[in-house]
Amino acid sequence: MFSQTSTLQMPHAGTVKQPRHVAFDIIRCVAVFSVIAVHIASPVSANNILHEFNWWVGNTYQAVFRSGIPLFLMLSGALLLPRATGLSFIGRRVWRIFLPFSFWTAVYLLARNDLATLGFSDYFYELVNSSVNHFWYVYTILVFYLLMPFIRLISKKASFSVSGILVATLLTTFSSMFIPSERPIVVEVIKHVIFAQYLLMGYCLSTNNQDEWWLKNIPMSVALIIIGIGITCFGSYYISKLAPDQSEVFYRSTSLNIFIKALGVWLLIKQTANSITSKALNIISLISKYSFGVYLIHVLVLEHILISWFRISYNNLSPLLGILVLSSITFILSVAILYILDRFLSFKAAY
């Protein structure tokens, strides 16, 4: 999902990355930036009245950028399912995730609490029941690492096609939008089924013969992105107006519109990755290498460095521009911190 040693090393002079690997690096960068942008845009729409300009600004940003989680899961399927065999795979992947997760859990705990009041029991409790909201995804991906050998076995036996997985995912994501939140167990089960479908979608898109016309059609990819953004933007408006308690339906990573947009982004990047310049490739490879670390620390950078220390927020500018500027600063600063920890301290546990 995040950095892979075989695909993310900086290219030597005169070497050229395979377009497939370049595409995965770009997708990873887009996904992690999207997560940051959504976390910054969400309060804008939540804290403004429906119909107001700033509500539409926050809503539109979310519509544009809400595809990070599906993209991450599709990357996991593409990169990891083909080699998900045995306990050694599980052990390597769990350790690869758990080491930076455990380190940044400690950092968040220290940043949000008085050191004098903390004990080891607080740290261990935080590891299994994190108070950092976006860390929910870490637990989710750890569960899927445990299940990946089984999912790979099923995919081999069933010989899934891209079209077959696409139809199944479209049906499941569409039906998930009508499950009432009062049935949390059903919601969780369907959510994880859809996440598994995202894994299989990424796997099929990267391994099967892609002779379906729409997989290689740039206008089709752009159309999927526009349709996904449009449904998210206007769907969230109408559902907020008619049923405010269901206002998050069109923002969910498991919703049909989010999947459509993520699929369009995936296909568009795969179709255009071979046009990347070597200079841009070096930057993309560097960011891709630190993507998991950026995902982990971006809230720390946003809340404790930019907002608390430097008093920088989207309110310094109009939200129309401020969300993009703050997202970019958070993104760049997160990468810079990880680069310093890696380059000068050789602290690879941070990412």
- For 229-238, write each residue's pLDDT tens digit: 999 999 999 9
Query: What rounded mean pLDDT belongs to the chain?
Result: 90
pTM of the predicted structure, to 2 decimals: 0.91
Place 316 in a pLDDT band, splitting at 50, 70 and 90: confident
- What pLDDT is attached to residue 234? 96
Span 33-83, pLDDT tens digits: 999 999 999 999 988 888 899 999 999 999 999 999 999 999 999 999 998
- Higher-pLDDT residue of 181, 91: 91
Nearest alpha carbon to residue 251 among 242, 241, 261, 266: 261
pLDDT of the residue at 7: 36
Q: Model confidence over 114-169: pLDDT tens digits? A: 988 899 999 999 999 999 999 999 999 999 999 999 999 888 877 778 888 999 99
